[in-house]
């Protein structure tokens, strides 16, 4: 039995080494996976911030509301989701108006959508402003949650 003890000791040391190596491999692979996903998310967010763009194509007056035709003119394949568009802000004559419309859907690169802004006191939508549609010009600015927006001077008779 004296000869078996060193063999058992070597086998136990090998098993301990293999277990330690396996645990280290699992820890390193999980850490690498986590770092890779965080890096990818960060790059995606940076790309959206740099290349995202919503432009005001045109504006028109419909009785008690001003409607805007907007287009996603992002320089890369960037989609503004409906959640993103609910965080869209509009600035009319330097006064911000938060926009929250659950009827919007995802807007991919190149697609257009219409937003209407209503006069105060009318019941035509959720976004109201305090201006009477008389002769003049109103400066309207669109600020998306990421990327850059656009400014439009809307003149109405």
**Report field, pTM of the whole predicted structure over 0.75:** no
The mean pLDDT value for 61-80 works out to 82
Structure tokens at 108: 């991919």
Which of 70-74, 100-104, 114-118 is predicted least confidently? 100-104
Give tens-digit pLDDT for 118-137: 766 666 655 556 555 556 77
Phi and psi at residue 129, in whole multiples of 5°? -135, 165
Show the tokens assigned to 1.
């039995």
Q: Residue 55: name the closest of 31, 79, 78, 74 by CA.
A: 74
Q: Tell me the average pLDDT across 11-31.
A: 94
């Amino acid at each position: 039995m004296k000869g078996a003890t060193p063999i058992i000791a070597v086998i136990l040391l090998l098993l301990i080494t293999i277990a330690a190596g396996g645990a280290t491999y699992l820890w390193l692979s999980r850490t690498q996976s986590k770092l890779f996903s965080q890096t990818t998310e960060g790059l995606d967010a940076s790309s959206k911030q740099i290349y995202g763009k919503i432009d005001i194509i045109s504006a028109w007056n419909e009785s008690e509301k001003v409607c805007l035709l907007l287009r996603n003119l992002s320089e890369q394949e960037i989609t503004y989701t409906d959640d993103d568009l609910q965080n869209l802000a509009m600035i009319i004559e330097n006064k911000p108006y938060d926009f929250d419309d659950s009827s919007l859907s995802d807007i991919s690169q190149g697609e257009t959508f219409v937003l209407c802004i209503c006069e105060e006191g009318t019941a035509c939508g959720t976004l109201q402003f305090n201006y009477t549609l008389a002769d003049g010009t109103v400066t309207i600015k669109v600020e998306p949650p990421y990327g850059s927006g656009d400014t439009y001077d809307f003149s109405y008779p």
